[in-house]
Structure 1
Amino acid sequence: MNKTKKLIFESAIKIFSESGYRGATMDDIAINAGLAKGTLYYHFESKEVIFNFIVEEGLKILNSQVLEVQVMDIGPIEKLIRICEIQLTFLYGYTDFFKVVMSQLWGADDRQNQLRKKIKEYISEIEINIKSAMKSGLIENGDTELIAFQFFGSLCSSAIYESIHVEKIELENIIKSTIRFTLRGLGIDYK
């Protein structure tokens, strides 16, 4: 991502996070990025295109880290632990991005349908490890897709916890506590 697009990426996340999709304007994004409106339009023809860009780029950052875990020579439970660490670190590092994504998951607009599809693709990477752990007898059999969504959701709830608490919280403690809680839900005692 070039320097200008990175500025737009960061600015758009901030504006969408603060104003919501409907309240955000191209003017606001350009001003926040310190760019002329023409420069913004040179790179992106509309607010919708910018929104899709930030979702695509943000999820690309997260997915690339998870795909690195998927090729590691470690067991499915260890992969799930690493995915927990990655997702939580990502959610805390990109809190505004998380707010934008969560605010747009509901609705029938094309952008919302596309966002749900991208989130489902990410969750399918979690499901791979759930299936593997079940096949190995490490966790109880069940609906792997539902369990993967629940796994994802428990991690997202930690980001919501952080957004409600104004004081700085210790990320490492949140990660350990969330991993322990999430794995116990799968029937795994993790210390």
Structure 2
Amino acid sequence: MNKTKNAIFEAAIKIFSNRGYTGATMDEIAISAGVAKGTLYYHFKSKEEIFKYIVSEGMNIIREQIDTVTKVEEGPVEKLRAICKVQLGMVYNNRDFFKVVMSQLWGQELRQSELRAAIRDYINHIENYLKEAIKVGYIKEAETSFMAYTFFGTMCSAAVFELINGENSDVDEVIEKVMSYILHGLSV
């Protein structure tokens, strides 16, 4: 991503996070990015196009980070921990992006449908790691699609807990709690 597009990317996330999709304007994004309005329109024809870009780029960044950190991990549990660390780290370090994603998941607009498709692709990526864990016998055989959504949802719930309670706990401690609940359930 070039310098100008990166500035627009960062500015758009902040504006969408603070003002909502409806309240955000191309003028505000241009000003926040420090670019002329013509430059903004050179790169993006509409607010909708900017939104699609930040979603696709943001999700690509997360997937790339996951692939990078899981390559150095050998076991399936370590890879799942690494996924937790990347996703929770994204929430802690990029709260505005998380807020934009969560605020636009519901609804019937095209951008919301496309966002759900991007999240679905990300969850399918997680599912591949769960399949690997099943294949080597670390996780019992089950419906991997539902497991992947549960895994994703549990991490989102942990992030929401942190956001609401403002605890800013140690990420590794949160990961251990999430992994314990996922792998061992809530039973005694």
TM-score using structure 2 length: 0.89
Aligned twin of 1:97: 97
Matched with 1:129 is 129
Cα separation, 1, equivalents of 2:135 and 2:168: 40
Segment of structure 1 superposing worse, 158-167 or 141-150: 158-167
Give 1:71 deviation, angstroms: 4.5
Provide the aligned C-alpha RMSD in A. Answer: 2.1
Once the two structures are aligned, what percentage of the paired residues are identical?
52
CA contact (8 A) 2:70 2:83 kept: no
TM-score with structure 1 setting the length: 0.88
CA contact (8 A) 1:105 1:112 kept: yes
Which has the higher mean CA deviation after the structures are superposed, 10-19 or 108-117?
A: 108-117
Deviation at 1:178, TM superposition (A): 2.4
Three-state SS of the structure 2 residue aligned to 1:87 is helix
- Once the 2 structures are TM-superposed, how far is the Cα of residue 99 of structure 1 from its aligned partner? 0.8
Matched, 1:183 2:183: yes
CA apart distance, 1:59: 0.9
Q: Which amino acid in 2 is paired with 1:93?
A: N
Amino acid corresponding to residue 63 of structure 2 in structure 1: N
Corresponding residue number in structure 2 for 1:115: 115
- The corresponding residue for 2:148 is 148
Bigger CA drift: 17-26 or 135-144? 135-144
- Which letter does structure 2 place at the counterpart of 1:21? Y
Amino acid at match of 2:146: L
CA contact (8 A) 2:65 2:86 kept: yes
SS at match of 1:138: coil
Instruction: Name the CA distance, whole Å, in 1 between partners of 2:150 and 2:168.
Output: 26
Whether 1:15 and 2:23 are equivalent positions in the alignment is no
Q: What are the Cα deviations for residues 18-53 of structure 1, in whole angstroms up to 9, with x where unaligned?
A: 111111111111122222222211211100010011
Distance 1:30 1:148, change over 3 A: same
What is the aligned partner in structure 2 of residue 172 from structure 1?
A: 172
Displacement over 6 Å in runs of 4+:
none
Unmatched 5+ residue regions in structure 1? none
Query: Cα distance 1:49–1:186, how it changes in 2: closer, same or farther (>3 A)?
Result: farther
What are the ranges of 5 or more consecutive residues in structure 2 without an aligned counterpart?
Answer: none
SS at match of 1:131: helix
Superposition deviation, residue 155 in structure 1: 0.6
* Secondary structure in 2 matching 1:18: helix
What whole-Å deviation, never above 9, does each CA across 1:75-112 have from its counterpart, x for those lacking one? 22221111111111122111110111111111222211
Q: CA deviation at 1:162?
A: 2.4
* Superposition deviation, residue 168 in structure 1: 4.3
Give the paired residue count.
187
Tell me how far apart the structure 1 counterparts of residues 108 and 55 of structure 2 sit (CA, whole Å): 17
Letter in 1 for 2:135: K
Inter-partner Cα distance in structure 2 for 1:172 and 1:122: 22
Partners of 1:115 and 1:176 in 2: CA distance: 29
Distance 1:2 1:65 in 2: 19
Task: Work out the CA distance in 1 between the residues paired with 2:139 and 2:7.
Answer: 44
Give 1:69 deviation, angstroms. 4.5
Equivalent residue, structure 2, for 1:61? 61
